[in-house]
Structures are given as C-alpha cells and as structure tokens.
Amino acid sequence: DGGITQSPKYLFRKEGQNVTLSCEQNLNHDAMYWYRQDPGQGLRLIYYSQIVNDFQKGDIAEGYSVSREKKESFPLTVTSAQKNPTAFYLCASREERGSYNEQFFGPGTRLTVL
Amino acid sequence: KNEVEQSPQNLTAQEGEFITINCSYSVGISALHWLQQHPGGGIVSLFMLSSGKKKHGRLIATINIQEKHSSLHITASHPRDSAVYICAVQPHRDDKIIFGKGTRLHILP
C-alpha cells in the first residue's frame, strides 16, 4: 500500500539535543511538507520541498533544518535553537499533474523535549 | 480573519446523535480535506473533496464550491468518534495547504 510513514509516533529528547524526525513516502510524489501543531492552533508550515535537492522555508522555519537527498525521504531536524520544540509534527506529500491532484498525510510524530 | 474557519470549536454530544461540523474558507481551492486526530494520536485522512458529497461508513462529507463551505456529518455517533476534526484546503495555484484550527468532538456514552 502506498502512503507516508513517520516514525516514531512518540519521541522524547532532553533539552539542548538535536533530534531528527523521519518522513518516508512510497507514492512517488515530488512535493513534501513538514507542519507543526501546537495546542489550540492550526497546523503551520515549517519547510517544504517541491523536488529532490531543493527546499524552501515555510512560515516557522527558525530552529529547524531539512534535507531532500532522495525523492522518498524528507527528514526534519529540530535543532537546539528551536525555543519550543515540544509539539506534534506532521509530514505530507503531494502530486499535481494537470487536473490530477493527490495529497497524502502521514500519521504524525509527537515530540516532547524534557 | 483566518482563511479557514471551523465551527464549532468544541462539541459535546450524546451517543447516537447526528453530528455536523462546518468549515468555511475564503480562497479559491482545488480540493478540501477532512482529517481526524485522536487524543495523543496521529492524523488520519478521512476525505478529500473537490465537489459534491462523499460517504464512508457513518461519515459523510459535503462541499459547496460556490459558497466556499464544507460540512462533515457523523451519523449514529459513538464515543470512539471522539477526536479533533480538522478541515484543510488546497488553494488554486499554490501548493501550501491551509489548515483550520480543528473542532474538538466529545461523544458521551
């Protein structure tokens, strides 16, 4: 079955440590996205990538970094510079070709920094 | 004003009740998504709509493109339906999805 995998579902880290969240898709989608959710707020865009080896900052990119070395993988690193890293992180991918439009969401990772 | 507004923000109902959650948006879109998020859990994609109506089990989603409005209905609601329901839209000619803040639904047994 095609889809998006995010692992792990729950992640705990000590303050000051960098942590990398995994996002893998086997949908052959060009575009991938990372979002963050805080209590009482909608999901906000951190970074996105429209093609391999290219990515752009979203609305709240500070304290995060990404890479897109392979089409199927878009890992997100939460660095120690991120002041409030505890949140729910959602990965998504998208393919749009003419009138065809396909959007998939991963299950998410809940990160808690202690 | 948010580009995607959901109502109500919170909803508590008795088991068996018919539930309606609304989503209004202000931009032209190519598609709208309904997502479900259980407490402490991940996101499940329920529907993607570009027109009309879709049904899956006890869930029904409708969209009116002209009125920029969508509704998610749950028939014969059950405590396991308790979750946050999120509306998200894909604007035309923009690959960034816009999410609503979600509707927290609590079904009492």
Distance between CA atoms of residues A73 and A13, nearest Å: 22
Mean pLDDT for chain A?
90
The stretch A65-84 carries a mean pLDDT of 94
Task: State both tokens at A87.
Answer: 């949140």
Range A78-106 average pLDDT: 85
Q: Give the residue from A42, A21, A13 showing the smallest Cα distance to A107.
A: A21
Q: Do A103 and B50 touch (CB under 8 A)?
A: no
Q: pLDDT, tens digit, for every residue of A14-48?
A: 888 899 999 999 999 999 999 999 987 889 999 99
Whether A101 and chain B come into contact, CB under 8 Å, resolves to: yes
pLDDT at B39: 78
Please, are residues A29 and A48 in contact by the beta-carbon 8 Å criterion? no
Contact B31 A101 (CB under 8 A): yes
How many CA atoms does the CB half-sphere of A5 hold within 13 Å? 9
The pLDDT score that the predictor gives to residue A100 is: 66
Considering only alpha carbons, which residue of chain B is nearest residue A37?
B101
φ/ψ of A25, rounded to 5, equals -135, 145
The pLDDT of residue B32:
94
Q: Span A91-95, mean pLDDT?
A: 90
Least CB-CB distance to A96: which of B35, B95, B101?
A: B95
Q: How far is CA B30 from CA A102, B47, B84, in A?
A: 11, 14, 24
Residues B64/B108, Cβ–Cβ less than 8 Å = no
pLDDT value of residue B41: 67
CA dihedral B78, B52, B9, A44 (to 10 degrees): 110
Beta bridge partners of B56: B59
Chain B interface, best mutation among A7, A88, A103, by max B CB count within 10 A: A103
What pLDDT sits at residue B2? 74
The pLDDT tens digits along chain B (109 residues) read 678 999 999 999 999 999 999 999 999 998 999 999 987 768 888 999 999 999 999 999 999 999 999 999 999 999 999 999 999 998 887 768 899 999 999 999 9
Q: Do A108 and B30 touch (CB under 8 A)?
A: no
Residue A102's pLDDT band, with cuts at 50, 70 and 90, is: confident
